[in-house]
Structure 1
Amino acid sequence: MAPKVLVSDKLSETAVQIFRDRGVEVDYLPDLGKDKDKLLEVIGQYDGLAIRSATKVTEKVLQAATKLKVIGRAGIGVDNVDIPAASKKGVIVMNTPFGNSITTAEHAIAMMFAVARQLPEASASTHSGKWEKNRFMGVELFNKTLGVIGAGNIGGIVCDRALGLHMKVVAYDPFLSEERATAMGVTKVELDELLARADFITLHVPLTDKTRNILSRENLAKTKKGVRIINCARGGLVDEAALAEALKSGHVAGAGFDVFETEPATDSPLFHLPNVVVTPHLGASTTEAQENVALQVAEQMSDYLLTGAVQNALNMPSVTAEEAAVMGPWVKLAQHLGAFIGQMTDEPIKAINILYDGTVATMNLQALNAAAIAGIMKATNPDVNMVSAPVIAKERGVQVSTTRQEKSGVFDAYMKITVVTETRERSIAGTVFSDGKPRFIQIKGITIDAEIGANMLYTTNEDVPGIIGTLGRTLGENGVNIANFTLGRSGVGKDAIALLYLDEPAPQKALDDLAATGVFRQIKPLAFEVA
């Protein structure tokens, strides 16, 4: 029996035809996604669901979707899909992460021109019958310095286009290596230097705890007087109220915003300012981009439903059905090892080396590598997945190497990840025990046996008496309960580490109090996605 797909948002007829040509039965009901009750009523009939942003795939919808195997999002954002609930139901969630990159980059460039030459205001003035030629004095982009915050896929395209306009480009990106920056033709700088040098600033980073308000009131004050700021990435990256004040004072000469902290944006401090160009989140809104992502999602969903092939999945590795049963625990281990290193590393990564020992060395290492790289990069980019992570690593000049070796220790199999930065190497090893649970077995060359918990605390110190008491007392005074404790040391009186399992994340005051004791070299809260 042919698989059946529901298209509940507007997709091109060409994309719908792809399903039919591939032998997939399809119902094209582009307005159904807006009717939650009707969607609940019919979703149980379908093996696949193709959507854009209007359809909300909630836990309630997933509970009613008794046959559903795959959700395909035509576009990158999956905020409208409850991914944890989908994973629990065994439903694959796919997106099309690169289909609208060029379109979004071009919109940023267009906004730069519009702000530099005051095009919307000049157009409105001329339409009203005025001829205010002397009112609209613009600036050239030629020979100006463009500061690009985030030099990944979209940011990299913006860099390329800006160089074509003969701009000088400086880029801030924690994962951009010097070698990759040189190959791109840009200068890698720290954020403060970018703020001080740039005539134009454009943002191309995801919204995370680290990037939220990256252009805060404080950082806006560090910018060059007369700077122009473009945001076509995510709302919340810029303090809109502080930027409005800087625009009114003249410190910032202009701004172009396609995204806002609250959307749909019916009001904003940036509205009604003459030196601001605003658009209603049009970054991906071109005929070509909408067609590209629609065609891609139709191909990906058809491939999965007909052959089992998985592409651009956010909650499943790209492996065959036969491999998945055996590799599942090792994929989870790779993600945990990567997540540990990603959360511990604050400087650009030059290389990732992954060692596979014993039986794991015979598995699908491409998928395990992807899981490890995704784990590392999720610390700064929560949108990354196992398919996009290797591509992003390559774009940023990160060298990924893999080593296989026969069983060489007490474990039948283990894997070890080492990251190399400009100043150091950091490594962690793990294995999967017979109970199917991943374990950390070595950190900093120190042997341990640690399960992985959702909320953990990692500390390093000199091996001296009283450390356990200090940890227990300080956390207890802050109301933090320790569920479990794992210790390791390189030798008596030498380097020692501790991994604590906490019932909930440690508050900042607890971390500050631990630091104030003066006995810890490193104190790092860690979070892991555990079932």
Structure 2
Amino acid sequence: MPQSESARTGTIGFLMPDGTFDRVFSEPDLTRLRSEPYARLPSDRPLRLERAEDRARLAAVEVLVTGWGSPVLDETLLRSLPSLRAVAHSAGSVRGIVTDALLERRIALTSSATANAVPVAEFTMAMVILAAKRTFWAAETLRASRAPVDAERAWPTVGSHGITVGVVGASRIGRLVVERLASLDVRVVVADPTLDHEEQAALGVPCVTLDELAAHSDIVTLHAPALPSTRHLVDRSLLQLMRPGTTVINTARGDLIDHDALADRLDRGDLVAILDVTSPEILPPSSRLWSTPNTVITPHIAGSAGNELARLAANTVDEALHFVRFGTFHRPITLAALALQA
């Protein structure tokens, strides 16, 4: 049940750059917060630590709304937030703001990772379909030759019917991709060593080792977090297991792939790479991946952008209001989950 009328009203405050706030949140979001009887919104704009009046407001904030560019919630900043009970992050990963000091205070934590997963899964599905039809190769070959293009002669497989799509990582995005792939006539396999037997069964698709996935998939799509244990998960040996004609799609984190090893395999001309993320995010001009064949690089556009940001805002407002009503988040981030998230 919601808090009683006599209970303290939950104070909600924004702490993020003005540019982030203006991109993500709109007047309808603020209206929802203002109209909530259990919530108090001391400012319609992000609070700023350098302003004395905002420091006083921050001291009363119980639910802090953060986003891209928010400051790290370290010991120094947390001393300015003595009333803080919860943090609702309006973006996906919280790794950039969470510290041991925050966790030691047992501050409730949530993010909009679930909402942000939707456009990434949609983008991935689009890339799977386009990759299966050899769209990018065909377009580039046609542009260069101005002559008929025969994809069936050039590649071992063309089309999506009956192919195997390997999903690396049963993350939020990975699971959405698995769900969406059910609409295609493809075989789906998943590799994720963190899944127990019940979780594997719940996915409804075969779970295999990473080596098996690499060796038998026509398309490999990456949805694992960037952790020390996953750095260069796709290394030279794994790339060697991939059959001619395999496509690798990365919408997760650039560090998951050994770029030098990938460039070497791409130079053979029998592999395709669709990279929405790289490491570093903007490759230097000297990177071989700019000139390797069958390589498509996009500027990290799979995640929420433009009108998709409204989904992040709506999710954040939902979670903030859920907390002031019930004292918990609808989708809290646990310590166990935090250790496995990107």
TM norm structure 2: 0.77
> Structure 1 pair 50/213, CA: closer, same or farther in 2 (3 Å)?
same
Match of 1:77 in 2: 93
In the TM superposition, residue 4 of structure 1 has moved relative to its aligned partner by 4.5
Structure ranking higher on relative contact order (CA contacts 8 Å, 6+ apart)? 2
> Structure 1 pair 210/141, CA: closer, same or farther in 2 (3 Å)?
same
CA distance in 2 between counterparts of 1:15 and 1:192 reads: 46
Contact 1:76-1:96 at 8 Å conserved across structures: yes
Deviations 1:498-523 (A, max 9, x none): xxxxxxxxxxxxxxxxxxxxxxxxxx
Contact 2:267-2:293 at 8 Å conserved across structures: no
Residue in structure 2 matching 1:301, options 301, 320, 324 = 320
In the TM superposition, residue 247 of structure 1 has moved relative to its aligned partner by 0.4
1:150 aligns with 2:169: yes
In the TM superposition, residue 299 of structure 1 has moved relative to its aligned partner by 2.4
Match of 1:518 in 2: none
Match of 1:107 in 2: 123
Residue in structure 1 matching 2:149, options 113, 134, 140 = 134
CA distance in 1 between counterparts of 2:269 and 2:275 reads: 18
Secondary structure in 1 matching 2:256? coil
Match of 1:5 in 2: 13
1:261 aligns with 2:302: no
Match of 2:341 in 1: 383
> Structure 1 pair 264/93, CA: closer, same or farther in 2 (3 Å)?
farther
Contact 1:145-1:167 at 8 Å conserved across structures: yes
Contact 1:145-1:169 at 8 Å conserved across structures: yes
CA distance in 1 between counterparts of 2:52 and 2:104 reads: 18
CA distance in 2 between counterparts of 1:285 and 1:98 reads: 11
Secondary structure in 2 matching 1:154? helix
Higher strand share: 1
> Structure 1 pair 383/179, CA: closer, same or farther in 2 (3 Å)?
closer
AA of the residue aligned to 2:111: N
In the TM superposition, residue 158 of structure 1 has moved relative to its aligned partner by 1.8
In the TM superposition, residue 18 of structure 1 has moved relative to its aligned partner by 1.8
Secondary structure in 2 matching 1:54? coil
Match of 2:3 in 1: none
Aligned length: 317
In the TM superposition, residue 129 of structure 1 has moved relative to its aligned partner by 11
> Structure 1 pair 186/103, CA: closer, same or farther in 2 (3 Å)?
same
Contact 1:231-1:256 at 8 Å conserved across structures: yes
Contact 2:269-2:294 at 8 Å conserved across structures: no
> Structure 1 pair 288/187, CA: closer, same or farther in 2 (3 Å)?
farther
Q: Which moved more, 1:16-25 or 1:86-95?
A: 86-95
Contact 2:322-2:329 at 8 Å conserved across structures: yes
In the TM superposition, residue 215 of structure 1 has moved relative to its aligned partner by 1.0
In the TM superposition, residue 77 of structure 1 has moved relative to its aligned partner by 0.3
> Structure 1 pair 278/41, CA: closer, same or farther in 2 (3 Å)?
farther
Gaps spanning 5+ residues in structure 1: where? Answer: 316-373, 385-531
Match of 1:16 in 2: 30
Contact 2:275-2:298 at 8 Å conserved across structures: yes
Secondary structure in 2 matching 1:187? coil
For 1:231-310, what aligned pairs fall within 5 Å after superposition? 231-252=250-271, 254-266=272-284, 268-286=287-305, 289-305=308-324, 307-310=326-329
For 1:440-451, what aligned pairs fall within 5 Å after superposition? none
CA distance in 2 between counterparts of 1:153 and 1:106 reads: 13
Match of 1:64 in 2: 80
Contact 1:44-1:66 at 8 Å conserved across structures: no
Gaps spanning 5+ residues in structure 2: where? Answer: 1-7
CA distance in 2 between counterparts of 1:265 and 1:43 reads: 40
CA distance in 1 between counterparts of 2:52 and 2:145 reads: 55
Secondary structure in 2 matching 1:157? helix
Match of 2:4 in 1: none
Match of 1:42 in 2: 54
In the TM superposition, residue 216 of structure 1 has moved relative to its aligned partner by 0.8
Secondary structure in 1 matching 2:79? helix
> Structure 1 pair 7/63, CA: closer, same or farther in 2 (3 Å)?
closer
Deviations 1:277-303 (A, max 9, x none): 222222322567532321121122233
Match of 1:217 in 2: 236
CA distance in 2 between counterparts of 1:248 and 1:190 reads: 27
In the TM superposition, residue 248 of structure 1 has moved relative to its aligned partner by 0.8
Query: What's the % identity of the aligned pairs?
Result: 25
Match of 2:66 in 1: 51
Structure number with larger C-alpha Rg? 1
In the TM superposition, residue 57 of structure 1 has moved relative to its aligned partner by 2.6
> Structure 1 pair 261/286, CA: closer, same or farther in 2 (3 Å)?
same
> Structure 1 pair 4/189, CA: closer, same or farther in 2 (3 Å)?
closer
Secondary structure in 2 matching 1:98? helix
CA distance in 1 between counterparts of 2:197 and 2:92 reads: 28
In the TM superposition, residue 178 of structure 1 has moved relative to its aligned partner by 6.2
CA distance in 1 between counterparts of 2:45 and 2:150 reads: 50
Secondary structure in 1 matching 2:229? coil
